[in-house]
Chains A and B, each alone.
Chain A
Amino acid sequence: MQIDIKYFGMLAEITGCDSEKVESEIQTVADLQKVLLDKYPDFKNKDFRIAQNQELVALETKLTGQEIAVLPPFAGG
Chain B
Amino acid sequence: MSEPYKNVFKEGAISSDFIANSIAKHQSKTDIGAHNIFLGQVRADKVDGKAVCAIEYSAYEEMANKKFHDIREATFDKFNLTCMHIYHSLGEVKTGEICLFVFVSSPRRKEVFKALEYVVEAIKADAPVFGKEIFEDASHQWKVNS
Contact surface of A with B, Cβ cutoff 8 Å? 6, 8-10, 51, 53-55, 67, 69, 71-77
Contact = CB atoms under 8 A, between A and B. Distances in A.
B127 to A, nearest CB: 4
Interface residues of B, number: 28
Interface stretch (B44-52, B72-80, B117-125): B117-125
Contacts, number: 71
6 closest A-B pairs (Cβ-Cβ)? A76-B129, A9-B130, A75-B131, A54-B63, A75-B143, A73-B144
B58 A73 contact: no
Contact of A51 (B60, B123, B142, B145): B60
Given A6-B60, A72-B130, A77 B66 contact: no
A35 to B, nearest CB: 20
B144 A8 contact: no
Given A8-B60, A54-B62, A71 B120 contact: no
29 contacts: A8-B58, A8-B60, A10-B142, A53-B1, A54-B60, A54-B62, A54-B66, A55-B63, A67-B1, A69-B128, A72-B130, A72-B142, A73-B142, A74-B124, A74-B129, A74-B130, A75-B144, A76-B59, A76-B64, A76-B123, A76-B124, A76-B128, A77-B40, A77-B88, A77-B99, A77-B100, A77-B123, A77-B124, A77-B127
A5 B144 CA distance: 22
Given A51-B63, A76-B145, A77-B40, A71 B128 contact: yes
A75 B124 CA distance: 7
A75 B128 CA distance: 8
A53 B66 CA distance: 11
A42 to B, nearest CB: 13
Contacts of A71: 60, 128
